[in-house]
Amino acid sequence: MRYSGVFDGYFASHIHHPECRQAEIALNRLHDVRDGDDWMALTDMEADDWPWLLAEYPTIAERMGITAEKIRENEEESARMRAFWIEQAKKRQESNR
């Protein structure tokens, strides 16, 4: 699928595999986005949506390099970062006493 036009005052053209366009539409429905400035391209997708994409559109996930291993690594890194920031907050509280 190819289309082009003026978006936000700039000329742009886009090319989608038909199934990538279907996944993009489904992603926006998942987030209750219908159109306009809130519309998300697949490249705008947050890591929280990766498991959904892998389950619902495995071919698209593969094209984007999203695998179960990558999802696991991302979740582990997020957990490490949460633990780090919790520890930092505890240290600040202790130093303020």
Query: What's the gap between Cα 50 and its chain centre?
Result: 7
Average pLDDT, the chain: 92
pLDDT at 13 over 80: yes
Distances (CA, A) of 45 to 10, 52, 84, 96: 22, 11, 25, 39
> pTM of this prediction?
0.75
Name 61's Cβ contacts closer than 8 Å, sequence gap at least 6: 50, 53, 54, 67
pLDDT of residue 49: 97
7 pLDDT higher than 80: no
Over residues 61-70, the pLDDT tens digits come to 999 999 999 9
Q: What is the pLDDT of residue 56?
A: 97
Q: What is the pLDDT of residue 96?
A: 87
